[in-house]
């Protein structure tokens, strides 16, 4: 026992000794600024617990432990939410030794005192090995040796967490750019590296923060002058106005409730019928240094997060009533949730080392070089022996020594020990008493075997040429190493002797982990299983210790989980509108009154009107959450692939025009913005000048911005999109307009309603910008017709298709005095509903026996679709899939592209656009052109005179105007020029004649592109839709410049059916703008003139 305690203390002293004598020879990483002073900005958010209110306070997040994980987690969450951090220790400035490398030794030397909180709290495991845990803001990152190296692949590949490795990379970088530096090697470290390479621990990976087999130099959290930059400085990267850090705050326990509801009326995650509800963590109780108790609670949707480390987190779970049932009962701790694995699977990576006295002073150094193998790591430190030693901790070292000597420590650490132990309480009611813990070092025989191999490798190092210069001359004039402490066994082939060396010299490297492991206590999102609103985010969740030193990964973890939680909250915030959503079957059969009734998901319009008035939205489709494919880019094709089903309302309703071209229309809350490719580009000047509307352009601009600030993102171009952009510029489609949401001649990147991880943010999310208390949205509500009479009414059916045997129930809703009904059902639905409601050509309606409300000859006319023609290329390598991101804009046509990888096991794709079979490891790209303002137009007429669910007939008459055909030919020729550009050369295939050519899937461009007849035939035969059809209720024909239906009162149409031409390259941006714009105009019209809340019958000539 004494021998391995001595070995622990000896190695500890040597680390400290080298720090005391450390010559600061470091150069800074490019990402961290050279000469960075301590950044204490976070101190403005720090308070002593005695200063805190004794009244209850509420926060979005409460983090227990301001340590290595807690600080980056708090900083990240504070970007959007209020965060309270409770740290039992003090601030670093109260312990100046933690702020500099030369104080490292002093931190670990401090004896425990009742009147002073030391930054390193000592404890001894049941194995008899002394250890330490951090007790200071910044945690163990403020008392360790600063070594910084990323986690290994084995850590990330362990089951339990589905890591998003791009986000992991960014989280590491977020830490490294602020607090990580590159050391410069002194002689001993350089010789040690040479020795590792000499014995085959290769390759030489030089300086690298990543974990790689071989030998490398890694980073440090000490800068070039020895200042420590620990996790605490990551607090500065947060929003300090949202952050409160309380020190000397000892959390006694977490408390729970089963009465907290955190879900919308659509349901929650508890199964109340079969199981009792899960308890919610709602707050914590903590005490200050004067013994006073404080209570803090989390807000709705808030969480408590344990970041108290591998000792503190399982301890607090047990004290709070989460642990093994029988164990907690035996301690009279009230049980919140029976969880048998709390405190189990706790492990420590055993360390064994030798200590050498070398014959000359050496530049002192902490760990800077590491040799990485599959089973163990080898590291070293060096120091000069002082001429006059002072008493050292634990009384292990000599009180005097010869000056001008050096000392080095060479150690090995097991990578992923199989031995594990457990933790149990030393006190059932006092969190300040460190719990008992046993790590069971070498209880698994494989660990002992790997230790023997690791120690033998140290023996090999001592035999290298690189180590020869560090031998001493003994009394026989022979050169040998001089050991301080135990030497390696003389016969290193003696298995028994080597095993005994491992057992007797074992100590810790302070990398203990587990106790709340993933898959046992927490799930893959680090939520404590069996309870709500409680997570553990620290090393206690690790199944294995990551890499050579866990601090890099623990800091990354705080940032990573914080980003995930922000994403979760964003997703929750994005469906805040759900509290205003009801299925039509839930709606009253009694008459109800609203200021405005919107038919179709006119989301921006509804949000705007709801600011002042009551609004009912009637949507025939379902909510996006009922069709998860609409919520993510990965589901885009699946939406369009879904076959029509009688028992299910698909979000994309298929129809085929009379031209024989297949098409779709949106049937989901949010409309076509929830099924399209997400491209977002503002309308063109030609749209505004031809629209028949006197636009207030300042208001137009603000309406666009209102949309864009919530749901529009800048895409990152993959290789194909970038090459396509280069090709457009090469063939003269210029200038290069960079990223721009405005419509400009030339080539540009535009916005997307898909964010950086592929989540769709459609028009439905704009509902969140309204007053949800004034808004009611009925889904599965099929509006049959608008009724015009002296009673203001609007009949619709619930459309509950789940029970085909029950009759469809009719509901009646009415508008208040000066209220309006607004059609926002799109270029198919809006003219269809006008016709079914009796507004249309007199003779046509009479022929269908539809009662005529208003003879309006233009309803359904002037409907047009922008024709699209494209080529499809097979390219010789996989390419990153991409939706439209780049567009080439000319006066007459636009050019766009998408790309995809060909699947190994292809499935049928929509509209026969893609191959039904393909070879793996190839890519596909589509280059298309779309006419800007086609002159050809057609008409819409009813397929059923009494059933709105039957899509009407529509004919677009593509290329019926000769100018459209001529412009198509010009555009297709431009595609041919693009294919001849240098930028496209790399995407050619090698054919059987060893020539490089494009491989087409489907029709190729005509061989002779100067042949007008051939080019025209290509245009006619390959025409398809780009889903930008418009008209049928056009301004100046059916509606006036304020979008009111001419000839009737209190009825408007606000959607793309009013457009004379399609705006810009994609109409969704302008359609969303239109909803906001008209809503603002209507609010202005109604200001001061509305009799709110009082029902007054209308006495106009024609009523709604």
Active site residue ranges? 511
Alpha-carbon distance of 1062 to 684, in angstroms, equals 9
Query: CA distances (Å), 893 to each of 976, 1022, 1029, 1047, in order?
Result: 15, 16, 16, 37
Among candidate residues 765, 631, 782, the one with its CA nearest the CA of residue 1075: 765
Q: Where are the alpha helices (DSSP H) in 712-864?
A: 719-730, 826-836, 842-847
Helix (H, G, I), strand (E, B) or coil at 579: helix
Pairing of strands 893-901, 923-931: antiparallel
User: Chain centroid to CA 36: how far?
Assistant: 30
**Cβ count within 10 A of residue 280:** 23
CA max distance for the chain: 123
Q: What stretches of 1000-1099 show up as alpha helix (H) in DSSP?
A: 1012-1022, 1068-1086
CA 49 to chain centre: 34
Pick the closest to residue 594 from 380, 416, 785, 814 (CA basis). 814
Beta-carbon contacts of 434 under 8 Å, excluding residues fewer than 6 positions away, are 121, 123, 133, 311, 426
Q: Give residues with Cβ within 8 angstroms of 694, minimum separation 6.
A: 1041
Report which of 763, 610, 702 is spatially closest to residue 1082, judged by C-alpha positions. Answer: 610
Measured on CA atoms in the order 591, 594, 596, 598, is the torsion positive or negative? negative
Determine the distance from the C-alpha atom of residue 298 to the mean position of all C-alpha atoms in its chain, rounded to a whole number.
23
- Please state, in angstroms and as integers, the Cα–Cα distance from residue 447 to each residue in 13, 419, 510, following that order: 26, 7, 17
Angle subtended at Cα 500 by Cα 494 and Cα 504, rounded to the nearest 5 degrees: 150
Closest CA to 230 of 313, 144, 168: 144
Determine whether 567 is exposed, middle or buried from the number of CB atoms within 10 Å of its CB (0-12, 13-18, 19+).
middle
CA 90 to chain centre: 33
Q: What is the rounded distance in angstroms from the CA atom of residue 1070 to the CA atom of residue 1065?
A: 10
* Residues in the chain, overall count: 1104
Question: Which residue bears the tokens 């790590």?
Answer: 439
User: Please, is 881 exposed, middle or buried when counting C-beta atoms within 10 Å of its C-beta (0-12, 13-18, 19+)?
Assistant: middle
Task: Report the C-alpha gap between 292 and 966 in whole angstroms.
Answer: 84
Query: How many other CB atoms are found less than 10 A from the CB of residue 241?
Result: 10
Residue whose pair of structure tokens reads 């793309």 in the numeric block? 1056
- HSE at residue 193, side-chain half, CA atoms within 13 A, is 20
Count Cβ neighbours within 10 Å for each residue of 263-278 and write b for 16 or more, e otherwise. Answer: eeeeeeebeeeeeebb
Pick the closest to residue 36 from 231, 209, 227, 234 (CA basis).
227
Q: Please report the sign of the dihedral spanned by the C-alpha atoms of residue 89, residue 90, residue 94, residue 100.
A: positive
Reduced to 3 states, what is the DSSP secondary structure of residue 306? strand
Going 1083 to 1089 to 1090 to 1095, the CA torsion angle's sign is: negative
């Amino acid at each position: 026992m004494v021998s391995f305690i001595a070995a622990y203390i000896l190695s500890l002293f040597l680390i400290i000794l080298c720090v005391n004598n450390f010559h600061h020879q470091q150069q800074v990483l490019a990402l961290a600024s050279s000469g960075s002073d301590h950044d204490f900005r976070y101190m403005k958010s720090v308070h002593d617990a005695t200063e805190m209110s004794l009244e209850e306070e509420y926060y979005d997040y409460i983090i227990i432990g301001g340590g290595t994980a807690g600080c980056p987690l708090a900083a990240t969450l504070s970007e959007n939410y209020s965060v309270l951090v409770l740290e039992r220790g003090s601030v670093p400035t109260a312990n100046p030794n933690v702020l500099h490398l030369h104080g490292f030794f002093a931190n670990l030397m401090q004896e425990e005192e009742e009147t002073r909180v030391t930054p390193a709290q000592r404890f001894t495991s049941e194995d008899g090995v002394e250890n330490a845990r951090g007790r200071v803001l910044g945690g163990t990152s403020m008392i360790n040796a600063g070594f910084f190296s990323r986690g290994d692949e084995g850590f990330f590949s362990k089951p339990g967490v589905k890591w998003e490795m791009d986000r992991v990379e960014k989280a590491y970088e977020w830490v490294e750019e602020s607090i990580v530096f590159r050391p410069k090697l002194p002689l001993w470290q350089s010789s040690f590296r040479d020795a590792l390479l000499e014995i085959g621990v290769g390759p030489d990976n030089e300086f690298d923060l990543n974990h790689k087999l071989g030998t490398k130099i890694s980073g440090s959290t000490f800068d070039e002058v020895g200042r420590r930059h620990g996790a605490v400085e990551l607090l500065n990267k947060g929003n300090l106005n949202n952050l409160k850090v309380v020190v000397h705050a000892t959390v006694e326990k977490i408390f729970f409730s089963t009465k907290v509801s955190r879900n919308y009326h659509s349901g929650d995650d508890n199964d109340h019928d079969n199981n009792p509800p899960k308890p919610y963590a709602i707050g914590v109780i903590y005490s200050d240094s004067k013994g006073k108790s404080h209570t803090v609670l989390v807000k709705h949707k808030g969480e408590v997060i344990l970041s108290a480390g591998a000792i503190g987190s399982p301890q607090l779970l047990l004290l709070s009533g989460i642990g093994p049932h029988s164990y907690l009962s035996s301690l009279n701790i009230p049980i919140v949730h029976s969880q048998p694995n709390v405190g189990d699977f706790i492990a420590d990576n055993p360390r064994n080392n030798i200590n050498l006295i070398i014959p000359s002073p050496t530049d002192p150094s902490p760990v800077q070089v590491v040799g990485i193998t599959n089973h163990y790591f080898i590291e070293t430190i060096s120091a000069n022996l002082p001429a006059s030693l002072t008493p050292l901790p634990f009384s292990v070292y000599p009180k005097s020594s010869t000056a001008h000597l050096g000392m080095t420590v060479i150690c090995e650490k097991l990578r992923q020990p199989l031995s594990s132990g457990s933790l149990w309480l030393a006190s059932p009611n006092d969190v300040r008493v460190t719990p008992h813990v046993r790590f069971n070092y070498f209880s698994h025989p494989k660990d002992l075997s790997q230790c023997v191999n690791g120690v033998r490798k140290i023996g090999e190092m001592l035999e290298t040429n690189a180590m020869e210069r560090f031998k001493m001359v003994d009394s026989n004039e022979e050169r040998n190493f001089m050991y301080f402490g135990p030497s390696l066994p003389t016969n290193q082939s003696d298995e028994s002797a080597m095993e005994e060396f491992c057992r007797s010299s074992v100590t810790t490297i302070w990398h203990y982990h587990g106790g709340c492991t993933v898959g046992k206590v927490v799930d893959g999102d680090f939520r404590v299983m069996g309870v709500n609103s409680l997570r553990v985010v620290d090393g206690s969740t690790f199944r294995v210790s990551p890499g050579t030193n866990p601090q890099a990964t623990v800091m990354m973890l705080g940032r990573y989980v914080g980003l995930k939680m922000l994403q979760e909250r964003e997703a929750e915030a994005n469906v805040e509108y759900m509290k205003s959503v009801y299925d039509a079957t839930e709606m009253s059969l009694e008459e109800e009154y609203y200021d405005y009734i919107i038919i179709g998901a006119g989301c921006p319009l509804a949000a705007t009107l709801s600011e002042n008035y009551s609004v009912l939205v009637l949507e025939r489709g379902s909510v996006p959450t009922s069709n998860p494919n609409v919520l993510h880019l990965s589901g885009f094709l699946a939406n369009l692939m879904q076959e029509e089903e009688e028992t299910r309302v698909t979000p994309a309703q298929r129809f085929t025009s009379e031209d024989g071209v297949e098409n779709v229309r949106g049937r989901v809350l949010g409309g076509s913005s929830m099924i399209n490719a997400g491209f977002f580009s503002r309308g063109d000047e030609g749209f505004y000048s031809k629209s028949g509307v006197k636009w207030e352009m300042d208001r137009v601009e603000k309406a666009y911005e209102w949309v864009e600030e919530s749901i529009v993102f800048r895409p990152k171009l993959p290789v194909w999109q970038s090459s396509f952009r280069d090709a457009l510029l090469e063939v003269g489609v210029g200038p290069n307009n960079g990223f721009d949401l405005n419509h400009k001649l030339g080539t540009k990147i535009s916005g997307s309603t898909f964010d950086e991880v592929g989540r769709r943010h459609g028009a439905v999310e704009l509902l969140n910008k309204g007053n949800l208390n004034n808004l009611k949205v009925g889904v599965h509500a099929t509006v049959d017709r608008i009724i015009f009479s002296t009673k203001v009414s609007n009949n619709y059916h619930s459309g509950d298709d789940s029970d085909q045997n029950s009759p469809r129930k009719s509901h009646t809703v009415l508008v208040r005095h000066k209220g309006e009904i607004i059609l926002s059902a799109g270029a198919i639905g809006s003219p269809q509903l006008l016709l079914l409601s009796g507004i249309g050509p007199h003779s046509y309606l009479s022929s269908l026996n539809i009662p005529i409300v208003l003879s309006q000859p233009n309803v359904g006319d002037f409907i047009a679709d922008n024709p699209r023609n494209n080529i499809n290329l097979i390219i010789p390598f996989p390419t990153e899939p991409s939706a439209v991101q780049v567009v080439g804009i000319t006066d007459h046509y636009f050019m766009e592209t998408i790309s995809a990888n060909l699947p190994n096991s292809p499935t049928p794709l929509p509209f026969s656009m893609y191959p039904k079979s393909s070879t793996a490891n190839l890519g596909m790209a589509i280059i298309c052109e779309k006419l800007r303002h086609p002159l050809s137009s057609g008409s819409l007429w009813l397929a059923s005179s009494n059933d709105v669910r039957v899509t009407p007939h529509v004919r677009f008459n593509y290329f019926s105007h000769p100018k459209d055909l001529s412009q198509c030919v010009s555009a297709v020729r431009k595609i041919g020029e693009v294919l001849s550009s240098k930028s496209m050369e790399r995407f050619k295939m090698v054919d059987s004649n060893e020539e490089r050519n494009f491989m087409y899937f489907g029709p190729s461009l005509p061989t002779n592109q100067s042949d007008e007849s051939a080019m025209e035939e290509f245009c006619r035969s390959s025409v398809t839709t780009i889903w930008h059809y418009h008209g049928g209720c056009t301004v100046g024909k059916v509606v006036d410049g304020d979008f009111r239906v001419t000839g009737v009162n209190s009825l408007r149409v606000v959607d793309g059916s009013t457009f004379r031409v399609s705006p810009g390259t994609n109409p969704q941006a302008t359609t969303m703008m239109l909803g906001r714009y008209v809503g603002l105009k209507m609010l202005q019209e109604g200001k001061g003139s509305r009799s709110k809340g009082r029902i007054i019958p209308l006495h106009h000539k024609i009523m709604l």
